Amino acid sequence: MMDSSLDSTQSVTYRRRWWTLGILSMSLLIIGLDNTILNIAIPTLQREFGATATSLQWMIDAYILVFAGLLLTMGSFGDRFGRRRALQVGLLVFGLSSFFAAYADSSAQLIAARALMGIGGALIMPSTLSILTDVFPREERGKAIGIWAGVAGMGIGLGPLTGGILLEHFWWGSVFLINIPIAGLALAAGVVLVPESRDPNPAPLDIPGAVLSMFAVTTLVYSVIEAPNRGWSDGLVILGFVGGVALVAAFVYREIRTDYPMLNFAFFKNPRFSAGTGAIGVGFFALFGMVFGLTQYLQFVQGYTPLEAGLRMSPVALGIMIGAGNSHRLVGKLGTNKVVAMGLLILSGVLVTITFWQPDTDYWIVGLTLFVLAFGMGNLMAPSTDSVMGAVPEANAGIASAMNDVTRQVAGALGVAVIGSVINTVYSGKMSDAVAGLPPEAAKAASDSVGAASQIALTMPAEVAGGLVNAANLAFTDALGIAVLVAAGAALVGSVFIARFMPPHHLPNEVSESDR
């Protein structure tokens, strides 16, 4: 009787699997949107709050810091206590903190709200992928993950457009309020359409491992975020990196030695798991760093409004959707390694072309660049994610999904920090002559950011202002071109590595029983 009931439940779950994917995709959409929607609002927030460059960066990075720091722990909790439950709690936290963010009265309140949103995101994202792995059979999982990755990319690409539309017609808080109806609908529909799943034989909680993982990831991400502001040789930054590496080492030592690890490091012995994780890291390092620079290029250099800039970034969503949605077919013909390596190679080649841009580069060139870059990213995201998830037992899907997401967030934060740091350094160096005749405070601000240079120019005589704006636009465009070469080099090295070391197909026995 019990077996019959279990079979009936599994049958219903299987029949509803595509509806389930729809709810998971809706939940994931707000995570993708939130990764980029705030970038388009940065100039507005700078004017609204009179925010410093550091405050603006923390409005973005507070979310990333908390999100990344909690992912492994929340993924493990989902495996143990229920993935649907983790998803629902995450949606509730995300919706409430979005309301708090929308009505923040200061930079500090907005940063606090963004940190709370990071808690919700850390519960949502690993849950979506681990539930997907549970409801789809192996033969359909590649296609389902392709759709999952496409939606994730669509959210990233549609963030600037959505933000631009909202800022054109409403006040800045609307970029957060948009999350609430999506979260509410996903929460309500998930009660019916998302089945509960968990590890059937949960191990005891690895509390020391959870604490070490949180402190390790948070310390590293904090150091990465602060490095461009303080300088990479700053004592606190160096101490943060050293402390972060020490905490990672302690976490690894703990997980290897304990009988019940939160993250089983035997997974990394599987080249599909380790290579897939590496490919995702390289891809998001390049993507997040490029988007960070591009939103400023479109608004400050080319003079588009937030809506116009968001619309012009929409090829990112289209490219990722097409690339990710069709990647499973290419994998079937060519193998995962060739498809992922090709995606990284496309990424590298397209990034190099940005070095030829000028302040007045025609949009058709910019738009085509974004589409092809995103197409390569889509062919990287979905097969790499499928490779990671297929390399672990389904009982550990939550922690594997969290590892996949941690890699995205840490690499993305590193991309923003490194590429942002290179942009700032090159820009400041190129502006030294242009600001030589300005008062000290104005000169410092104008050489700090292209946005500040534009604001200062408004207070100056037309003949002087024009020269300052032209110099700032050219300096920023040159700086962006130089900075993306860092990402292009990383993608090229990653392409060679993947082609050489990633197995083309799932291994017959992905993880041995002794390792489980």
Q: Over the stretch 237-257, which tens digit does the pLDDT of each residue have?
A: 889 889 888 998 998 888 788
Q: Determine the pLDDT at residue 346.
A: 92
Q: Does a structural domain hold residue 427?
A: yes
Predicted local confidence at residue 515, as pLDDT: 41
Kindly tell me if the per-residue pLDDT of 434 is higher than 60.
yes
pLDDT over 60 (residue 509): no
Q: Which two tokens stand for residue 445?
A: 């601000």
- The amino acid present at 81, given as its one-letter code, is F
Q: Does any domain span residue 471?
A: yes
Q: What's the farthest any 2 CA atoms get from each other in the chain?
A: 87
Most confident listed range (162-166, 185-189, 216-220, 232-236): 185-189
276 and 337 share one domain: yes
pLDDT tens, residue by residue, 57-93: 777 778 877 887 787 788 777 777 788 888 899 999 9
Cα–Cα distance for residue pair 295/208, rounded to 1 Å = 41
Contact in structure between 439 and 428 (CB atoms under 8 Å): no
CB 344 within 8 A of CB 283: yes
pLDDT at 351: 92
Q: Are 76 and 133 found together in one domain?
A: yes
Of 216-225, 376-385, 484-493, the range with the lowest mean pLDDT is 216-225
* pLDDT given at position 6: 43
Instruction: Give every CB contact of residue 9 below 8 A, 6+ residues apart in sequence.
Output: 195
Is 70 exceeded by the pLDDT of residue 49?
A: yes
Does 514 fall in a domain?
no
The encoded tokens of residue 231 equal 């300088």
Q: Are residue 242 and residue 287 in the same domain, yes or no?
A: no
Neighbours of 506 (CB within 10 A): 17
Q: Is residue 456 one of the residues assigned to a domain?
A: yes
Residue 99: its pLDDT value, please?
A: 92
Task: Count Cβ neighbours within 10 Å for each residue of 132-170 and write b for 16 or more, e otherwise.
Answer: bbbbbeeeebbbbbbbbbbbbbbbbbbbbbbbbbbbeee
Contacts of 156 (CB under 8 A, 6+ apart): 32, 33, 35, 36, 287, 291, 316, 317, 320
pLDDT tens digits, 361-373: 999 999 999 999 9
CA separation for the pair 82, 190 (Å, rounded): 13
Task: State percent of the chain over pLDDT 90.
Answer: 9
Q: Is the pLDDT of residue 10 over 60?
A: no
Cβ-based neighbours of 47, under 8 Å, separated by 6 or more: none
Q: Which residue has the higher pLDDT, 141 or 270?
A: 270
| For residues 391-408, average pLDDT | 71
* Cα 22 to Cα 140: distance, rounded to the nearest angstrom: 15
Instruction: Pick the last residue of a domain from 216, 235, 259.
Output: 259
Residues 379 and 348 in one domain: yes
Query: Contact at 8 Å (CB) between 112 and 427?
Result: no
Neighbours of 254 (CB within 10 A): 18
Whether residue 171 lies inside any domain: the answer is yes
- Residues 95-150 have pLDDT tens digits of 999 999 888 888 888 889 988 998 898 888 878 877 887 777 777 777 777 777 77
By C-alpha distance, which of 3, 311, 362, 282 is closest to 167? 311
Q: What is the pLDDT of the chain when averaged over all its residues?
A: 79
Which is higher by pLDDT, 367 or 416?
A: 367
Looking at 259, 277, 294, the residue that finishes a domain is 259
pLDDT of residue 394: 67
Amino acid (one-letter) located at 306: P
Q: Which two tokens stand for residue 128?
A: 């979506």
- 400 domain-assigned: yes
Number of helices and strands in the chain (H, E): 19, 0
Are 221 and 331 members of one domain? no
Residue 512's pLDDT band (boundaries 50, 70, 90)? very low
Of the pLDDT bands very low, low, confident and very high (cuts 50, 70, 90), residue 54 is low
Model confidence at 2, pLDDT cuts 50, 70, 90, reads: very low
Same domain, 218 and 121: no
pLDDT over 50 at 516, yes or no: no
Output the pLDDT for position 405.
75
pLDDT classification of 499: cutoffs 50, 70, 90: confident
On the question of pLDDT at 390 being above 50, the answer is yes
Residue 285's domain spans which residues?
13-197+260-507
CB atoms under 10 Å from CB of 99, counted, come to 14
Helices (H), ranges, 53-82: 53-81
What Cα–Cα distance (Å) separates residue 65 from each residue in 69, 233, 259, 288, 411? 6, 21, 29, 15, 12
CATH of the domain at 308: 1.20.1250.20
Q: In the predicted model, is pLDDT for residue 486 greater than 70?
A: yes
Residue 513 domain flag: no
Q: Are residues 239 and 316 in the same domain?
A: no
Co-location of 186 and 235 in the same domain:
no
The number of folded domains in the chain is 2
Supply the pLDDT for residue 93.
Answer: 93
- pLDDT for 464 beyond 80: no
**Using 50, 70 and 90 to split pLDDT, how confident is the model at 94?**
very high
Does 516 reside within a domain? no
pLDDT tops 90 at residue 353: yes
Q: Which of 257, 17, 239, 20 is nearest to 137 (CA)?
A: 17
Query: Which of 11 and 426 is assigned the larger pLDDT?
Result: 426
Distance CA(291)–CA(296), nearest Å, equals 9
What sign does the dihedral 275-277-281-284 (CA atoms) show? Answer: positive
Q: Are residues 253 and 380 in the same domain?
A: no
C-alpha span between 502 and 276 (Å, rounded): 8
Place 216 in a pLDDT band, splitting at 50, 70 and 90.
confident
| Domain end point (choices 214, 235, 259) | 259
Helices 138-169, 271-296: inter-axial angle, 10-degree rounding: 10
Q: Is the pLDDT assigned to residue 9 strictly greater than 60?
A: no
Give mean pLDDT, residues 418-436: 80
Provide the residue type at 11 as one letter.
S
Residues 157 and 209 in one domain: no
pLDDT on residue 96: 93
- Please indicate, yes or no, whether residues 231 and 151 belong to a single structural domain of this protein: no
Per-residue pLDDT reduced to its tens digit, 295-326: 788 888 888 877 787 788 778 878 888 887 77
In a 10 Å sphere around its CB, with 0-12 CB exposed, 13-18 middle and 19+ buried, how is residue 124 labelled? buried
Cite the DSSP H helix spans in 103-195: 107-135, 138-169, 174-177, 179-193
pLDDT for 398: 67
Q: What was the pLDDT predicted at 369?
A: 92
DSSP 298: I
The highest-confidence range among 41-55, 213-227, 337-351, by mean pLDDT, is 337-351
Top mean-pLDDT range of 94-98, 264-268, 271-275: 94-98
> Is there a single domain that holds both residue 379 and residue 391?
yes
Question: Where residue 508 falls among pLDDT bands split at 50, 70, 90?
Answer: low
pLDDT of residue 92: 93
